[in-house]
Amino acid sequence: MQLNAPLDMHLHLRDGEMLENIAKCSAETFSGAIIMPNLVPPVSTKEEVLAYKARIMKAIGEETFEPYMTLFFKPSYDKDFLSSVRDEITALKLYPAGITTNSEGGVSGFDVEELRPTLEAMSELNIPLCVHGETNGFVMDREAEFASIYKRLATAFPKLKIIMEHITTKSSVDLLDKFENLYATITIHHLLITLDDVAGGMLKPHLFCKPIAKRPADRDALLKVALSAHPKVMFGSDSAPHPKHAKESCGCAAGVFTAPIALQLLTELFENQNAPIENLQAFVSGNAQKIYGITPPVKTIVLEKRPFHVPSDYNGVVPMYADEKIAYSIKK
């Protein structure tokens, strides 16, 4: 079983020691990834993009891996600024203010007129907009409530590619085909777990993330579009490492760390669900190449049906399924 140029279209690589410790987990198995900008402070100037990319390249060493850089969306960006940074970035990432890790400087209110200059400039420059689509409503309803904002943005900026990041609900899946310019990423954990796995028994901090995993019917809707490789969905792990002490504590940080096991889990899932391997190839690479217009570095990953014992931690970061066995391994 082999995958060509697998892409992770939503990845947190962090910075400093964490970056040094975990970047290789993605660079060893993926051909490239969209790198989220939610550092402290967020990546919001050309200089910061270039410097962060250089730190990533240093951390991945000899691996073949393209970090597709993003900027943290601010309504103050004008067309001159966006033109000057266009060649260094692949997308902008919009966070509602305070909705998730390091998103304090994000957008509040979603007034189309306030956002218009920046979004029109992005549209003209063909820069996609990645969105963390949650309101600050009741936790299980946040994503569904955000649908009205997606509709407003998709209608007001019909040429702007809008990517609904890490969708978790049937309502988001249903939106995909209603607007030509809406796309989505889906994580592996949201294809595998529901809220029951997080909080139905003993509380599982390593499965806690934003958006929170939802109901079985939501997961089924996600599975349907992922397994059939719906052309508007792409794999994005949202692998979001936090130190073990920040997860196993009172006030658990949100984020599931899946980078080192994502491809193995996807392979097992597609096999168990009898989905053709071509669909997995489209979900983890082909669709993203078409949507973003990117050509990732050539890289072939061979997966073997040989149990892999997931380590209990990777340099102090506990992965999903730590200390458990999964069915597939990556051939070195």
Tokens standing for 328? 């597939």
Q: How far is the CB of 239 from ligand NCD (least distance, A)?
A: 9
Q: Binder to ligand NCD among 35, 240, 265, 284 (CB under 6 A)?
A: 240
CB atoms within 10 A of CB 4: 14
Angle between helices 142-156 and 112-124 (to 10 degrees): 60
Q: What's the length of the chain?
A: 332
Q: Does 70 bind ligand NCD (CB under 6 A)?
A: no
Of 80, 141, 220, 238, the active-site residue reads 238
Report how far apart, in Å, the C-alpha atoms of 254 and of each of 82, 191, 213, 273 are: 31, 18, 12, 29
Q: Does 12 bind ligand NCD (CB under 6 A)?
A: yes
Q: Is the separation of the CB atoms in 183 and 6 below 8 Å?
A: no
Look at phi and psi of residue 110 and say left if phi exceeds 0, alpha if psi is from -120 to 50, else beta: left
Q: Which does 100 bind (CB under 5 to 8 A by kind): Zn ion, ligand NCD, none?
A: ligand NCD
Q: How far is the CB of 158 from ligand NCD (least distance, A)?
A: 26
* Coil, strand or helix at 169: coil
Q: How far is the CB of 152 from ligand NCD (least distance, A)?
A: 21
Q: Does 181 bind ligand NCD (CB under 6 A)?
A: no
Active site residue 197: no
Give 31 or 185: the residue with its C-beta nearer to ligand NCD: 185
Q: Which does 210 bind (CB under 5 to 8 A by kind): ligand NCD, Zn ion, none?
A: ligand NCD
Q: Does 238 bind Zn ion (CB under 5 A)?
A: yes
Q: How far is the CB of 43 from ligand NCD (least distance, A)?
A: 13
> What residues numbered 133-162 form the site for ligand NCD, per CB under 6 A?
none
State how far the Cα of 52 lies from the Cα of 268, in Å rounded to an integer.
34
Give 238 or 268: the residue with its C-beta nearer to Zn ion: 238
Q: Does 218 bind Zn ion (CB under 5 A)?
A: no
DSSP H or E segment with residue 183: strand 182-186
Q: Binder to ligand NCD among 44, 70, 90, 101 (CB under 6 A)?
A: 101
Which spans in the chain are helix H?
Answer: 16-27, 46-60, 79-85, 112-124, 142-156, 170-176, 189-192, 195, 216-227, 244-247, 262-272, 277-281, 287-292
Query: Could you list the active site residues?
Result: 238
Q: Which residues bind ligand NCD (CB under 6 A)?
A: 12, 38, 100-101, 132, 209-210, 238, 240, 254-255
Sites of contact with Zn ion (CB under 5 A): 238
